[in-house]
Homo-oligomer: A and B are copies of this chain.
Amino acid sequence: MWLTSILDKVEGCVVLSKRVRGFSRERELARILYKHGFAVLRAPASGAKTRRLVYPDIVAIKNGVVLVFEVKTREKPSTIYIDKRQFMKLQDFIYRSGGHGFIAVKIMDGRGWRFVPVELVEETRGGNYRVSMEAIEKGYTLRDLVKLCDKTRSLTEWLEK
């Protein structure tokens, strides 16, 4: 946190600042999910961007329920564009794992986290992908997400009895 604040005040550090903030948000979400009883895996922060394309930002597992996240940060709700290759990798991971995929957006104006299911991600004309401002505003809150997981878990437990 303090590192982010200092970097924000230094001109010329905007890019690094954004990157640090990105990792910081991933860590924040990872901690929240861990506190809610999930086993949590974060993609390696080190290495080149190409290496990061291989893994989703966060994978959280609890009792067979698998949540897969790409994490984004925005000052206020605005359209988010996602690189085609990155989105394809994410979809492949979701398909293989049988998990639920979300674009996790931390909105910095005080609104906090919004989770947009990947099913609501739209393809652009150029073949890339985008999450609309409306989808972000209507996205699940953290509370919704936790409820959803507990519901899914109960259903799985009930079925396994």
Contacts and interface: CB of A to CB of B under 8 A. Distances in A.
A154 interface: no
A44 B156 CA distance: 31
Main secondary structure of the interface of A (DSSP, over half): mixed
A62 B97 contact: yes
Contact of A96 (B46, B55, B62): B62
A94 to B, nearest CB: 8
A38 B63 CA distance: 17
A121 interface: no
Given A159-B159, A159-B160, A96 B41 contact: no
A38 B159 contact: no
Contacts of A160: 159
